């Protein structure tokens, strides 16, 4: 019987710990307890072996040196095929999210999407430029329609290359061409991987992985990028705002609606509906003070960044939110929704509502989303929640809530570093070149109940900040840092090394930049491409002293992201364990061959200290290759407001003399 972990071993988040204890008291299962009860299958991770179930001659389990499957497939072929299929699954999910957004944009442009409008025309024009669609003389609706149709066509495109490939640095595009992994279309690359990994097709590990990389690029520079860009067009490009995060955002005296999943489409309408006076009055008529929205997972990130809707937390908070007993309705769309939720909701008064045509879960109330009547559906859902408020039983809401300053789209970062007239990445590149910022780490990805929730994310982030590494985050990793108060301007004064602090004080930015949901990792690609183009840090993404991390990953989407980042030239390190470790050949392909051919790599390290050291080594190696000065924090830290605070603290008479140097 596996060991049952304490609340402190399950999560470092005090709010999570409090609710986990309550779950135990109420005898409720959670992913944490299920992970304790069910040890992960060793066949498929680590050195124990591999499993192939791509045909029914098996399933074949390879656990001995030199063993092959019934068809003769080697461990390396099986490892590569499994990896490729996982990447295709992740790419399919994220890209399909992009497709849905594109269809919503099309409906909005045609005036058939109730409640939607084109909020960011500047971004629309920028996307049109990427698609070589002339904007001049066109109405916003006409241009939006053309952009939407072009985006939709990218999914079904069969030959040539995806339009956004051109947004990568030239050298990067050349590397893709050379290695033969330029994505032709989005759907085609997913199908290609599923085909070539079918029984009896591609049985050459490097070749299988090439297909997987091309599929991942179709996601990163295709489907996901479409999702990010068109969401910005529809709902506005994020800019920093102050928000709150953690379970404490649930209200004791208001109708709580928790929005969980990944897409902004329906949730934006629920945000709109929840602020309608009639519905607020209706809520009050039921004894509630108002309507309180809270997000979970990446739907949360979407509406936190754009609308400032507070976040109840990341992936592993989804069950915990329900266990507070304070949730009238949990609405979900797609991805990362645990099947345990409807059953858990049933233990309370909570209504669990599925909305995606793709997602039904046994035991859920299904109110299918239809953009033509999106606002009406949103109102209906809000009413269900209000009607449910009087049924609320005992409630335990943790006090824990932290302020968070998210919203760092690459557009805003540009503006942040130079204002309306001088926007550029120059100050960021300069800071890295000077060594004030040692390098950049993108800490992204999921929570995983097999390890302590948020522990790896937040420990690594703290260690990097201390060493003047700028951290950018998306998805559940970003919310983890948010819960620990590391995503505010003040956090720079507390956590950042001297050089990074100077840059944060100069700009006002937090030392951790929250850039969006997990589909928004494409923003990181854009930032890296712009940094390469700005000059001084080489001329390709692979030259930049940067590392991508997913220390608590669990989903196929994470592997797709890791693969497109590696193919884009980044060094990517995943935590937990390696799903391909049993094949030394595949491990070597992903670490060494990819690095040689593409400058990037994807590797796995099971402990945080190793992740930290390997990241810093990579950053310092890249710095050295660029002939940048060796990182030396003692050279920095003089600028900032501290001396001013000392001066202002003096009595008025003393201040006059101190002005010329009484204060050191």
Partner 1 sequence: MSRYIATRAIRGANSIVNEFDSLLARALAERGPDLPLAFPNTAYSLPLILAITGQTVDKLGDLQPVLDTARQLLRPAPPDRRWTPYLGETLDAGMATLLAEEAIEAVRFAYDQQPEALPGFRLAGGTAFTNPEFQTNGDGHLNGPIDDIQLRTWGIQLVDGRMPGFAAIVGCAKSNEVAVKIVRELQRRNILTFLSGNVNGRSIIHQLMEAGVELGYDTYTVPFGTDTISAIYALGFAARSALTFGGMKGGQARDILLYNKNRVFAFVLALGEVDDLKYATAAGAINFGFPVIADTVIPEILPSGVTPYEHVVSMPFNLIEGADDLQRAERLVQKCIEVRGVKVKLAEVPVPVPYGSAFEGEVVRKADMRIEFGGKHSKCFEFLRMASFEAVEDGQVTVVGPSFADQPAAAAMDLGVVVEVAGRKMQKDFEPVLERQIHHFVNGASGVQHIGQRDITWIRLSQAAAGKGFDLKHFGAILHARFHADFGAIVDKVQVTIYTETAAFEAWLAQARAAYAERNVRLGNMTDESVEEFYSCTLCQSFAPNHVCIVTPERLGLCGAYNWLDCKASFQINPTGPNQPIKKSITLDPQKGYWAGTNEFLENASHQQVNEVAVYSIMENPMTACGCFECIAMVIPEANGVMIVSREDTSMTPAGMTFSTLAGVAGGGLQTPGIMGHGKFYLLSPKFISADGGFKRVVWMSSILKSQMAEQLQKVAEREGDPHLIEKICDERSATDAEGLVAFVTAKGHPALGMPPLL
Binding interface with partner 1 (CB under 8 A): 239-242, 403, 405, 407, 415-424, 426-431, 434, 436, 488-490, 502-503, 505-509, 636, 638-641, 643-644, 647, 658-664
Separation CA 546–CA 523 (nearest Å): 15
Separation CA 328–CA 352 (nearest Å): 9
DSSP 4: P
- Give the nearest distance from C-beta 295 to partner 1 in angstroms: 19
- Give the nearest distance from C-beta 654 to partner 1 in angstroms: 12
How many other C-beta atoms lie within 10 A of the C-beta of residue 582?
24
Separation CA 275–CA 257 (nearest Å): 13
Nearer Cβ to partner 1 (173/424): 424
CA angle 268, 270, 274 (to 5 degrees): 125
470 strand-pairing partners = 440
Instruction: Tell me how far apart the terminal alpha carbons of the chain are, to the nearest angstrom.
Output: 63
User: Burial, 363: exposed, middle or buried (Cβ in 10 Å; 0-12, 13-18, 19+)?
Assistant: middle
Nearer Cβ to partner 1 (40/656): 656
Nearer Cβ to partner 1 (393/662): 662
Do the beta carbons of residue 92 and residue 99 sit within 8 Å?
A: no
DSSP 5: P
- Give the nearest distance from C-beta 468 to partner 1 in angstroms: 12
- Give the nearest distance from C-beta 473 to partner 1 in angstroms: 16
- Give the nearest distance from C-beta 500 to partner 1 in angstroms: 10
Separation CA 533–CA 541 (nearest Å): 9
Nearer Cβ to partner 1 (444/500): 500
- Give the nearest distance from C-beta 469 to partner 1 in angstroms: 16
Residue identified by tokens 């929250």 is: 514
- Give the nearest distance from C-beta 570 to partner 1 in angstroms: 23
Separation CA 132–CA 192 (nearest Å): 27
- Give the nearest distance from C-beta 662 to partner 1 in angstroms: 7
Using CA atoms, how far residue 239 sits from 5, 389, 406, in Å, is 40, 34, 8
Nearer Cβ to partner 1 (68/647): 647
Positive or negative: CA dihedral 64, 65, 71, 73: positive
Nearer Cβ to partner 1 (56/421): 421
Nearer Cβ to partner 1 (1/652): 652
Nearer Cβ to partner 1 (284/507): 507
- Give the nearest distance from C-beta 118 to partner 1 in angstroms: 21
Nearer Cβ to partner 1 (245/603): 245
Nearer Cβ to partner 1 (27/661): 661
> How would you classify residue 302: left for phi > 0, otherwise alpha for psi between -120 and 50, otherwise beta?
alpha
Do the beta carbons of residue 79 and residue 583 sit within 8 Å?
A: yes
Positive or negative: CA dihedral 20, 26, 28, 33: positive
- Give the nearest distance from C-beta 436 to partner 1 in angstroms: 6
Separation CA 77–CA 69 (nearest Å): 10
């Amino acid at each position: 019987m596996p060991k049952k972990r304490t609340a402190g071993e399950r999560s470092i988040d005090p709010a999570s710990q409090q609710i986990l204890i309550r779950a135990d008291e109420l005898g409720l299962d959670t992913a944490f307890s299920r992970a304790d009860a069910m040890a992960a299958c060793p066949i498929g991770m680590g050195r124990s072996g591999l499993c192939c179930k791509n045909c029914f001659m098996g399933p074949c389990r390879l656990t001995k040196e030199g063993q092959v499957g019934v068809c003769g497939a080697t461990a390396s072929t099986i490892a590569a095929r499994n990896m490729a299929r996982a990447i295709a699954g992740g790419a399919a999910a994220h890209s399909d999210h992009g497709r849905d957004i594109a269809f919503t944009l099309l409906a909005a442009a045609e005036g058939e999407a109730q409640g939607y409008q084109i909020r960011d025309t500047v971004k629309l024009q920028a996307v049109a430029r990427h698609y070589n669609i002339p904007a001049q003389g066109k109405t916003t609706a006409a241009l939006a329609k053309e952009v939407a149709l072009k985006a939709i066509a990218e999914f079904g495109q069969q030959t040539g290359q995806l339009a956004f490939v051109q947004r990568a640095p030239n050298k990067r595009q050349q590397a893709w061409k050379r290695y033969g992994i330029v994505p032709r279309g989005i759907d085609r690359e997913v199908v290609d991987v599923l085909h070539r990994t079918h029984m009896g097709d591609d049985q050459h590990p490097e070749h299988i992985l090439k297909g997987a990389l091309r599929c991942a690029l179709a996601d990163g520079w295709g489907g996901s990028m479409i999702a990010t860009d068109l969401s910005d067009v529809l709902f506005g490009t994020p800019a920093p705002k102050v928000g709150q995060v953690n379970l404490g955002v649930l209200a004791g005296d208001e109708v709580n609606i928790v929005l969980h999943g990944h897409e902004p489409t329906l949730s934006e309408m629920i945000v709109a509906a929840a602020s309608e006076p009639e519905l607020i009055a209706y809520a009050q008529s039921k004894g509630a003070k108002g309507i309180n929205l809270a997000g979970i997972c990446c739907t949360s990130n979407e509406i936190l960044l754009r609308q400032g809707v507070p976040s109840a937390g990341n992936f592993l908070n989804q069950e915990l939110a329900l266990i507070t007993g304070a949730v009238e309705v949990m609405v979900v769309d797609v991805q990362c929704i645990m099947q345990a939720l409807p059953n858990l909701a049933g233990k309370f008064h909570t209504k669990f509502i599925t909305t995606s045509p793709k997602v039904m879960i046994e035991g859920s109330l299904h109110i299918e989303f239809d953009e033509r009547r999106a606002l009406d559906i949103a109102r209906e859902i809000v009413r269900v929640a209000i009607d449910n408020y009087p049924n609320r039983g005992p409630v335990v809401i943790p006090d824990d809530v932290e302020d968070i300053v998210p919203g760092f789209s690459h557009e805003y970062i540009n503006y942040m570093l130079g204002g309306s007239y001088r926007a550029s990445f120059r100050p960021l590149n300069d800071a890295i070149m000077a060594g004030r910022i040692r390098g950049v780490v993108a800490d992204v990805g999921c929570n995983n109940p097999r390890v302590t929730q948020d522990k790896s994310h937040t420990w690594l982030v703290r260690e990097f900040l201390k060493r003047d590494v700028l951290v950018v985050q998306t998805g559940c990793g970003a919310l983890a840092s948010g819960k620990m108060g590391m995503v505010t301007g003040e956090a720079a004064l507390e956590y950042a090394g001297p050089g990074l602090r100077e840059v944060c004080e100069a700009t006002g930015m937090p030392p951790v930049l929250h850039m969006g949901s997990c589909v928004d990792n494409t923003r990181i690609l854009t930032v890296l491409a712009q940094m390469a183009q700005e000059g001084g840090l080489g001329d390709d993404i692979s030259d930049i002293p940067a590392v991508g991390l997913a220390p608590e990953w669990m989903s196929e989407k994470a592997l797709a992201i890791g693969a497109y980042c590696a193919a884009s030239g980044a060094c990517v390190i995943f935590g937990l364990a390696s799903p391909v470790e049993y094949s030394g050949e595949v491990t070597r392909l992903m670490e060494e061959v990819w690095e040689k051919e593409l400058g990037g790599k994807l590797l796995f390290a099971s402990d945080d200290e190793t992740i930290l050291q390997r990241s810093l080594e990579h950053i310092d190696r890249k710095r050295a290759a660029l002939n940048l000065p060796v990182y030396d924090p003692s050279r920095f830290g003089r600028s900032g407001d501290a001396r001013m605070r000392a001066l202002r603290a003096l009595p008025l008479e003393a201040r006059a003399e101190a002005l010329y140097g009484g204060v050191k």
